[in-house]
Amino acid sequence: MTKSQPSGVKDRILKAAKELFISKGFAGTSIRDIASASDSNVAHVKYYFQSKANLFEIIFDEAFDILINRVSATITSDLPFEEMIERWITTYFELLPHYPQIPMFVLSEINHSPDALVDKIARKNPEKIFNRLSERMEEEIKKGTIRPVPVFDLGLNILSLCMFPFMFSGFATRTVGIPRSEYNALVANHKQHVVDFVLRALKP
């Protein structure tokens, strides 16, 4: 075995696992599926990643880091307020189609391992994000461009509106029989509705 082979196998397993988790979900994907799709074997998957759950967590951590970093960069930027809100919402609709299991995994972590999730979020300095958003909203309230809205309520509303379409995707594609590609197109179009809804709700 050459030196390049181990990392090649590991990368193939990660790529295949990500694609399978997207198309079949965590529960619908087996280690054998991952091994077959990555042209490896079950022993390879277990050697590099120990378990399906551990493999998923590695993929989740990568996606979660990207998501939090983008949200943080957007909220702490100097973009005009309405543009910042639109960019914040767009981040979810751009990233979550590639990692649609994030919302369900977050719910699972909240129910089963809340301390681990808190640690993940705490490392991203959420207080800085929250404080900057509060400052931006106070500035806009003083200018009269938005009505007084608690920053917590705004954040919760945006999270709910952006996360739920992806949490609902498995149910929709199975019960209504919508192909995932068609559902993703519907969700992509839904993004502008969310932007308009949030901005209208903030108007004085």
Specify the pLDDT at position 36: 92
Q: For the chain, what is the domain count?
A: 2
pLDDT score at 112: 67
Residue 97 contacts by C-beta under 8 Å, 6 or more apart in sequence? 166, 184, 187, 188
Evaluate if pTM is beyond 0.85. Answer: no
Quick one: pLDDT at residue 197?
96
5 and 106 belong to one structural domain: no
Structure confidence by residue, pLDDT tens digits, 19-71: 887 777 777 889 999 999 999 999 999 999 998 888 888 887 888 888 888 99
* 46 plus 134 within the same structural domain: no
| CATH code of the domain covering residue 33 | 1.10.10.60
- Examine the domain organization and report whether 138 and 167 are in the same domain: yes
Whether residues 67 and 105 fall in one domain: yes
44, 62: one domain: no
pLDDT of residue 122: 78
Q: Which residue has the higher pLDDT, 22 or 18?
A: 18
- CA dist 67 to 1, 94, 102, 110, 121, Å? 37, 10, 10, 18, 11
Q: Which residues contact 158 (CB under 8 A, 6 or more apart)?
A: 85, 88, 89, 194, 198
> Are 25 and 85 found together in one domain?
no
Mean pLDDT of the chain: 86
User: Are residue 85 and residue 42 in the same domain, yes or no?
Assistant: no
Task: Kindly state whether residues 173 and 147 are assigned to the same domain.
Answer: yes
What pLDDT does residue 151 have? 94
Residue 161: CATH number of its domain: 1.10.357.10
Q: Which one of 50, 66, 82 terminates a domain?
A: 50
Specify the pLDDT at position 3: 38
Last residue of a domain, one of 28, 50, 72: 50
**Are residues 66 and 23 both part of a single domain?**
no
- Residue 25 DSSP label: T
Residue 2 clears pLDDT 50, i.e. is over it: no
Range of the domain at 186: 53-202
φ/ψ of 62, rounded to 5, equals -60, -50
Name the token pair of 29: 């994907």
Looking at residues 188-196, what average pLDDT do you find?
A: 94
In this structure, are 8 and 62 located in the same domain?
no
Question: Of residues 182 and 117, which shows the higher confidence score?
Answer: 182
Residues 107 and 139 in one domain: yes
pLDDT of residue 5: 54
What is the percentage of the chain residues whose pLDDT exceeds 90?
45
- 81 and 10, same structural domain? no
